[in-house]
Amino acid sequence: MSLEIPALKAWFDSHKEEIFFRFFTFLKFGSVGTDPAYHHETRACAAWLLNYLKEIGFQAALYETSMHPVIFGHYCTGGKERPTLLLYHHYDVQPVDPLELWTSPPFEPTVRGGQVYARGAQDNKGQCFYTLTALHAFLQLAKEAKVNLKIIIEGEEESGSVGTSQFLKEKGALLKADHLLVIDSGIPRLGTPAISMGMRGILSMEATLSNSREDLHSGTHGGVILNPNRALVQLLAKLWDAEGRVAVPHFYDEVKSYSKEELSCFEMTFDKEEYERKFGAKAYAIETGFSPRESNYIRPTLEINGIQGGYAGAGFKTVIPARAIAKISCRLVPHQDPEKIYERLVHFLCAEAPKGIDLSISEFHGAPAFASSFDAPIVKLVAKAYEEVLGKPCRYLLMGGSIPIVGELAKASGAATLAIGYGLDDDNIHAPNEHFGLDRFEQGFLTVGRILSALTGRE
C-alpha cells in the first residue's frame, strides 16, 4: 500500500489537536540531561515517551545505563525479505540559562508567529515528535504493511552519550538494520530539502587554574600573587596563532584536504548579509584560506564555550579569585582521533601554563566525525520523499555540528547512515528562545511518512 501526501495530510489535519497536545506535553518535561538538578524530569520524559511508543504499536523497552536510559522500540512485520529502517532521536535537551533572555519560559511551549518556542522545540523533541507522529499515522493507515522499523531514542546526546555508548556495546545486535536515519539535522533554508552527508566530531574538556586556597583581596595581595584569571586569559590566548589558526602542535596533522570536485557536491553558498541580519554577527573567525562554509564543514575548530573566574555579577568585587575555569571544545573532521587531539591539547596547556599554578584538565567526551556515502540506496529514497514534500531538488550538506553517537550507531547497526531533518540555523538551538516552525513540523511528518511508505516497496 502506498501512502500518498494527501492521505497523510488528511490524517494530520484530523488529528491536529491531539498531535500538538502531545507534542507540547513532551516539550514541558525539563529533560536537561547534563544537569543533575533535572534528573527526575529527564526520567519522567523517558517514561512518557516509552508509553507513547507502545501506544502507537511498537514493542518497546527502556534500557537503564550509567546515566539516562535508552528507549528502544521495534515494529517488524516485514520478514527477512524487507529491509530494516532504524531511526535515531534524543529526548534530552540543552541547559536553559541565561533564563532571563527567554521571552517565554523554556518549559512552557508558546506559539508565536507560527513558531513554537521552548527548549527542545527543534533540537531534538520537535524532530523526534514529527517522526513519532508519522510512525503513528503510518501504522494506523497502512495496517497490513510489511515493514521492519526500529527506533532508538537516547537521553545523553547533549552530554556525551556515555551510557548510550555502553548500551550499543552490550545490546548493539538489537539495532541491526539496512538504513539508519538520524533525524537531528537541517535544511539550508525554508523549503529547500537537504541531506547531511557528514558531520564534524567533537571533543570537549574543562581546564581549571587554581592558586590560593580562597579568594583574596586584590589590594592586600595584588602585586604578590598570580591572579588565576590573568593566568587563564594568557594561557587560552596562546591557543590561536596570529593567523587565527589553532596553535596546538599537530592539531591539523590528520586533516584531509578536499578537491574542488569533491566540494562541488555540497551546498557551499554563504550569504554574509543574510547571516548578519539573522544573527547580528559583527566579527568573523573564518580560517585563513578557506570560505565560511569550508571553515565550518571541513576544518576543525576550537572554541571556549564557557569561561568563569571571580565576580562578574552586579556591582564590583575586588578579589583575586582562588580559581578560574574554562570549558573548551573542538569540532573535529574525518580522520581526526578525539583521543589524540585531547592528548595534544593537554600537552600544550600543561607546557604553556604559568609555573607553579595548579592546572587540572578533564575530558568530557569525544566522538569522531562521520561521513556518509552517496552510493547507498537510501540517499535516493530520502531525496525523493523530500522533493515530493517540498517540490524542489534535494541538496547535500555537511554539518558543522556533531551528533556524537552517530559513528558508533552506524557501526553497531551496520546500516547505511544519513542525517536529515528540518532544522534551520536560526532556530536558536542551544540558546535562549529556541523555536521550531509548525509548518516544518508538518513537512517533517510528511517526509517521514513518505519514506516509510517508500520502504514498503509498493508505491
From the list 144, 223, 261, 273, which residue makes contact with a copy of itself (rule: CB under 8 A)?
223
Strand order from edge to edge, sheet including 201-210: 323-332, 201-210, 358-367
Of residues 173 and 242, the one with the C-beta less far from a copy of itself = 242
Degrees, nearest 5: CA angle 356-362-366: 145
Of residues 95 and 414, the one with the C-beta less far from a copy of itself = 95
- Is residue 258 involved in binding a copy of itself (CB under 8 A)? no
From the list 316, 351, 375, 391, which residue makes contact with a copy of itself (rule: CB under 8 A)?
316
Cβ atoms within 10 A of the Cβ of 392, count? 12
Q: What whole-number distance in Å separates Cα of residue 333 and Cα of residue 301? A: 9
- The H or E element containing residue 399 is strand 395-399
Q: What whole-number distance in Å separates Cα of residue 208 and Cα of residue 231? A: 10
Taking CB under 8 A as the binding criterion, the range among 21-29, 53-61, 113-121, 425-433 that sits at the site for a copy of itself is 425-433
- Is residue 108 involved in binding a copy of itself (CB under 8 A)? no
Q: Measured between alpha carbons, how far is residue 129 from residues 218, 247, 275, 427, 440 in Å?
A: 53, 42, 29, 16, 12
Min dist. Cβ of residue 202 to a copy of itself (A): 7
Q: Which residues make Cβ contacts (< 8 Å) with residue 314, sequence separation at least 6?
A: none
Of residues 27 and 399, the one with the C-beta less far from a copy of itself = 399
Q: What whole-number distance in Å separates Cα of residue 251 and Cα of residue 8? A: 49
Of residues 354 and 414, the one with the C-beta less far from a copy of itself = 354
Bond into 98 cis (ω within 30):
yes
Give me the residue label for grid cell 494527501: 6
Contacts (CB under 8 A) with a copy of itself, residues 325-344: 325-327, 329, 331
- Is residue 229 involved in binding a copy of itself (CB under 8 A)? yes
Tell me the residue type at 51: N
Q: What whole-number distance in Å separates Cα of residue 138 and Cα of residue 445? A: 10
Contacts (CB under 8 A) with a copy of itself, residues 388-417: 399-402
Min dist. Cβ of residue 119 to a copy of itself (A): 12
Q: What whole-number distance in Å separates Cα of residue 429 and Cα of residue 417? A: 23
- Is residue 428 involved in binding a copy of itself (CB under 8 A)? yes
Per-residue interface string for the shown chain with a copy of itself, residues 259-288, x marking contact by CB under 8 A: -----------x----x---xxxxxxxxx-
Taking CB under 8 A as the binding criterion, the range among 83-91, 139-147, 313-321, 338-346 that sits at the site for a copy of itself is 313-321
- Is residue 312 involved in binding a copy of itself (CB under 8 A)? yes
Taking CB under 8 A as the binding criterion, the range among 110-118, 125-133, 203-211, 449-457 that sits at the site for a copy of itself is 203-211
